[in-house]
């Protein structure tokens, strides 16, 4: 994490939540055409404008982020992102029961997960090279949403002068607990319309098939010959109709990334908007990537009164595998006392 810096950034009020607390908004301007805004509510990326084009879906004020129909726009999700089967798991011979908010499962940390809490703005500033950054912290107490242990969390956003949004996570615990954090922005590189014409490449030869409630079966299956094969750059809408009648209702799948070499941070996906040529690269230290195509957006009214249609944005969520706490064949997501959970994900933008 970045040390404290004396060069401040603009911090403004983002409205008052139902519990009477004021959310803050930090504006990070890289001075070379990109401006990002992050909020203390949910440690959320509210906006990222690049050369005047808005790249992420979002709302105008914190009250909209509190509303029940907020589909996790731009937030930090956890303690465990994605789904946990039937909201329960066994850890060290004890069963824990979590909040059910995606019947019959637990989703994205529960209804009061990290996306619904006030994070503390710990520090913010600008490096001498122009990179802007802001760090948020939150103490998740024992029993919050049913999870064991007290978890101390930090999330830091950095917007670099060469248009990279870097997100770094850190967490420690006092007793063993599952942790799997991710970022949940909906990307639309055109700034409007749907993402069906966006060209997508994911460096993954396999994925984790699911049951009818989108819980992985434990199998690792090849993408070859399926609508999930994005090993070559392909329009998102080219094969999506094959999935509309499935429980996912479009793309909502975890990819097993083809990681190579020794470097932890690797390029795993690329999205290209064909009209502008604008490109987004995803780099991560994680082993999985959830592709979600906004299947349930359902005419959500967002920023500036814009109505976001179905498929109005796509999510590329770096993660460990869904329901890993209940699937012994998947890599573990249990954080032990004395360990430090650390990971980094970067979203890199190219083009005007």
**Annotated catalytic residue 184:** yes
CB 320 within 8 A of CB 333: yes
**Annotated catalytic residue 192:** no
In the set 54, 144, 145, 317, the catalytic residue is 317
Element holding 63 (H helix, E strand): helix 62-66
Nearest CA among 270, 61, 319 for reference residue 167: 319
Residue 26 burial (CB count, 10 A): 24
Element holding 66 (H helix, E strand): helix 62-66
The alpha carbons of the chain give a radius of gyration, in whole angstroms, of 19
Residue 171 has φ and ψ, to the nearest 5°, of: -155, 145
And the tokens for 237?
Answer: 């809408």
Q: How far apart are CA 196 and CA 275, in angstroms?
A: 13
In the set 106, 115, 118, 184, the catalytic residue is 184
Nearest CA among 105, 18, 130, 118 for reference residue 68: 18
> Which positions ≥6 away from 58 have C-beta within 8 Å?
45, 46, 47, 73, 74, 302, 303
Task: Specify the pairing of strand 266-272 against strand 199-202.
Answer: antiparallel
CB 253 within 8 A of CB 290: yes
Nearest CA among 300, 332, 307, 331 for reference residue 67: 300
**CA of 12: how far to CAs of 25, 220, 283, in Å?**
5, 46, 30
Please work out, in degrees rounded to the nearest 5, the angle formed at the alpha carbon of residue 227 by the alpha carbons of 226 and 228.
Answer: 85
3-state secondary structure of 220: coil
Q: Which residues are catalytic?
A: 184, 317
């Amino acid at each position: 994490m970045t040390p404290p810096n004396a060069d401040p950034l603009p911090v403004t009020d983002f409205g008052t939540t139902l519990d009477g607390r004021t959310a803050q908004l930090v504006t990070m301007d890289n001075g070379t055409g990109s401006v990002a805004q992050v909020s203390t509510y949910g440690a959320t990326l509210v906006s990222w404008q690049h050369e005047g084009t808005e790249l992420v879906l979002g709302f105008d004020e914190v009250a909209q982020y509190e509303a029940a129909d907020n589909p996790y726009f731009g937030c930090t999700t956890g303690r465990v992102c994605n789904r946990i089967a039937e909201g329960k798991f066994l850890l060290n011979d004890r069963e824990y029961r979590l909040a059910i908010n995606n019947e019959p499962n637990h989703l994205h940390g529960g209804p009061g997960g990290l996306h619904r809490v006030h994070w503390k703005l710990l520090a913010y500033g600008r490096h001498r090279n122009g990179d802007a950054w802001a760090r948020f912290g939150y103490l998740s107490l024992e029993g919050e949403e049913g999870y064991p242990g007290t978890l101390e969390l930090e999330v830091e956003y950095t917007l670099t002068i060469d248009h990279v949004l870097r997100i770094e996570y850190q967490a420690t615990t006092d007793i063993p607990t599952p942790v799997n954090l991710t970022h949940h922005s909906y990307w639309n590189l055109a700034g409007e319309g749907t993402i069906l014409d966006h060209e997508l490449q994911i460096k993954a030869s396999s994925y984790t098939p699911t049951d009818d409630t989108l819980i992985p079966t434990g199998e690792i299956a090849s993408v070859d010959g399926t609508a999930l094969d994005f090993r070559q750059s392909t329009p998102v809408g080219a094969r999506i109709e094959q999935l509309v009648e499935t429980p996912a209702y479009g793309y909502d799948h975890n990819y097993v990334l083809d990681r190579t070499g020794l470097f932890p941070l690797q390029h795993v996906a690329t999205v290209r908007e064909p009209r502008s040529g604008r490109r987004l690269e995803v780099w991560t230290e994680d082993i999985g990537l959830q592709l979600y195509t906004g299947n349930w957006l359902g005419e959500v009214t967002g920023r500036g009164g814009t109505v976001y249609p179905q498929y109005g944005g796509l999510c590329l969520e770096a993660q460990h595998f869904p329901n890993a706490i209940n699937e012994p064949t998947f890599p573990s997501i249990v954080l032990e006392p004395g360990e430090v959970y650390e990971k980094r994900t970067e979203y890199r933008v190219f083009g005007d």
